Amino acid sequence: TNNPGEVLVSNGIVQVPVVYTYLLSANGCQSQQTVTVQIRPTPAINNQALSTCSNTSFTFAPSNVPSNTLYTWGIPVYNPGGTITGGTAQTVGSANINQTLVNQTINTSVASYTITPVAGTCQGTPFTLAVSVQPIPVVTDQTLNNVCSGSPFNFASATAPIGTTYTWRNPLISPFNSLTGGSAQSVGQTTISQILSSTNNVVNTAAYVVTPSFNGCIGNDFTLTIPVNPTPAINNLVDTICTGSSISITPTNTPANTRYTWTNPLVVPFGAITGSGAQVIPSGNIFQTLINTTNNPARLVYTVTPSAGVCSGSPFTVTVHVGSTLSAIGNQSAEICSGVAFNATPLNAPPGTTYTWSLPTVTPANSISGISNAVFQQNAISEILQNN
C-alpha cells in the first residue's frame, strides 16, 4: 500500500505506544523500518446526574477519565424554566464542575449542563450533567390556635416542600411543669403532633424548637408555640335536699367560666320526683327545684358535661337524694311517775325522723326539774323529769 494509515481507538485512560514494523519496497529494493505511534486517550463520559441542596455548593468530577482532564460548559438549562439562579458558563478548562445553585421554589428543579471534556489536545464528546436542586424548607415561627388539654395538636407547614419532615427538642413549658405529654423527637416526622395535658386550670404554653428537613436538605430552626386551654375534670358529686327545695351545685377547682349541660336525669324509683329536666344551654351551675311525690326518699342521677370555652370535659354524675314530705304529727301527751323517763316519740313518724324542741313550760312554775331543750337533732323525745 502506498499509505499505511489506520484509525486507532484507545480503550484505556493512559497513553499507549503502538509499534509498527514496516517493510519498504521500491524498484526491487527492500528495507525495514520501525514506527512507534503514541495514542493519547480521549475522555469518554456517559451522561451524569447528581442531587444538591439549594444554596449549597456542589462539586463534580467524573471518575475513570484520563489524568488532567479539564471541562468547559455553557449556561445550564433549567427545568422548570426560571426556577433556579446561580448557574454560569465555564469557558476556561476546569478540573471539576463546581457551582452554587439556588432553587427559588418549594419543588425540586433541575439544572442541565452540557459539558465538553478535554485531555491534553484530545477533546471528548460532550456529555450532560443533570443537577437536581432540592429546596431547603423555610418555616417562620408559628403560634397555633389554642388547643384543649388532653386533645392532640397537629402542624405541618403549608409553605414547606411537600414531604418535609420535622424533628424537635423537649418543649419549654410555661408556667414550669404546668403541662405533661411533651417530649423530643429525633426521627423525622411528617407532622408535629403531641397530646398536652394541663395540671392546672389556666392557659399554659409549650414552645417547641423544630428543625425542618427535605430530602436531606436541613432548614433553619423555627419555634412552634402551642397555647393549651384547661379542660374541666370533675369527680362525681352527691347532694341531699328536702322535697320542694332547690339544688344549686357549683363544682370547685374548675377553670374560670366553666359551664354545664345535662340530660334528663335518671329517677329512682321511676316517676317519684318532679321538677327535673335536661339543660341544653350551658349554665354556670347545676340548679333545679325537686319535689318528691312519694312518702319515701327518692333520688335522681344527673349526667353532666362541663365545658370551659370550647373545651369539653368528661361527663360526671350528680346524685341528688330528695327526702319525702313529713306527714303531719298530732300533739302528744304522756303521764309518768316522778324520776322515770318518758318517751313521747310519735309512732306514725317515718323511720329516721329526728326532733328538736325548746325549753318546756312548767306548771306550777319550778315544780319540775330535769327539763331541757334539744338544739341538736334527737332520735327520740325523752327525758327524766322529777316532781319537786
- pLDDT tens for each residue of 330-382: 898 889 999 999 999 998 887 788 999 999 999 999 999 999 999 999 999 99
Low-confidence ranges of the chain (pLDDT < 50): none
Give the model's pLDDT for residue 266.
97
Q: What's the rounded Cα separation, in Å, for the pair 216 and 383?
A: 94
DSSP β-ladder status, 97-103 and 84-85: antiparallel
List b or e across 278-306, with b for residues whose CB sees 16 or more CB atoms inside 10 angstroms.
Answer: ebeeeeeebebebbbeeeeebbbebebbb
* 378 neighbors 356 (Cβ within 8 angstroms): yes
Q: How far is CA 323 from the centre of its chain?
A: 49
Give the model's pLDDT for residue 99.
97
Q: What's the rounded Cα separation, in Å, for the pair 349 and 159?
A: 78
DSSP β-ladder status, 90-94 and 69-73: antiparallel
DSSP β-ladder status, 298-308 and 316-322: antiparallel
Please list the helix, strand and coil fractions of the chain in percent, rounded to the nearest 5, in that order: 0, 50, 50
For 113, how many CA atoms within 13 A lie in the half-sphere containing its CB? 27
A 10 A CB-CB count for 19 gives: 8
Q: What's the rounded Cα separation, in Å, for the pair 336 and 385?
A: 9
Judged on CB neighbours under 10 Å (0-12, 13-18, 19+), 381 is middle
Q: What's the rounded Cα separation, in Å, for the pair 65 and 67?
A: 6
Q: What's the rounded Cα separation, in Å, for the pair 98 and 52?
A: 11
Q: What's the rounded Cα separation, in Å, for the pair 310 and 150?
A: 13
State whether residue 146 is helix, strand or coil.
coil
DSSP β-ladder status, 311-312 and 222-229: unpaired
Question: How far is residue 353 from each of residues 20, 97, 302, 326, measured CA to CA in Å?
Answer: 135, 102, 27, 9
Which residues, in sequence order, are CB contacts of 137 under 8 Å at separation 6+? 106, 157, 160, 161, 164, 212, 213, 214, 217, 219
State whether residue 380 is helix, strand or coil.
coil
Give the model's pLDDT for residue 4.
81
**Single-letter amino acid, residue 321:** H
**Closest C-alpha among 180, 311, 145 to residue 233:** 311
* 225 neighbors 144 (Cβ within 8 angstroms): yes
